[in-house]
Amino acid sequence: MTDQGRLAGRVAVITGGAQGIGLAIARRFAEEGASVVLADLKIETATNAASDLQGAGLNAVALAVDIGWDESVKTLAGEVERRFGRCEILVNNAAIGMDTHIETMSMDDYHRVIRINQDGAVCMTMAFVPLLKKAARGRRVLNVASIQGLRGWPNQLAYATAKGAIVNFTRAASCDLAPHGITVNAIAPGFVDTPMSILPDGSHEYDSDWFRDIYVKYGRIPMRRFGHPVDMAGPAFFLCSDDSDYVTGQILSVDGGASATF
């Protein structure tokens, strides 16, 4: 649907919207009537994804952005303003993965993860606040954190640190933006089947014996399966819909119960 639905008439910008969780959220928002902007560094992939959504009768465009570069973020905000004049929903989803252990990582690797996964969300939010303030209603910022931002994790020092910062950025930003009628919330996915789940040797993280034994057989994930991107779309929709008008500064774990067993 394009002219009706619970997000009809709203503009939603989703970083990392070309694939995975970002694309699943974009599709759900578009199905609810929003005009979605797939903002991604992988512009060819984003363009193909937007074409697929358009082929289904949905409103979608692809725009290039490198959230690790402030000028690229400003250019994106300017293009969204030129095309739409406003933005009701911003989803800070884009991130990179990298194995980092405190004894072996370089500071360059650490800063690269922080620059994209942490600073990128802050920069995007700062750039889009003026466009959010122009919207009449339904003004939302949704950050994609991680259960790694709530718990420690081996070999993920930089990623977990960045996602932990996103958790508190969500809370702090919600206080600053509430007077403008802008809510700021986050989802914290657990194990989700995305391109980031592919290990350096090309195998799939969820096909490993350790994952199947600990998280499935012995129930460290009570639902006994990994998540799919579409599992993130429903909670994201709730936090960006009118149903969440009085919800802000909250972190919703979407992890099949994994965080309940830690």
The set of catalytic residues is 159
Which of the 8 DSSP states describes residue 253? E
Q: Using CA atoms, how far apart are residues 237 and 123, in angstroms rounded to an integer?
A: 23
Residues 6+ apart with CB under 8 A from 85: 134
Q: Using CA atoms, how far apart are residues 21 and 24, in angstroms rounded to an integer?
A: 5
User: Would you call 140 helix, strand, or coil by DSSP?
Assistant: strand
Q: Which amino acid is at 195?
A: P
CA-closest candidate to residue 123, choices 143, 104, 138: 143
CB-CB neighbours of 201 under 10 Å: 5
3-state secondary structure 20-43: HHHHHHHHHHHHCCCEEEEEECCH
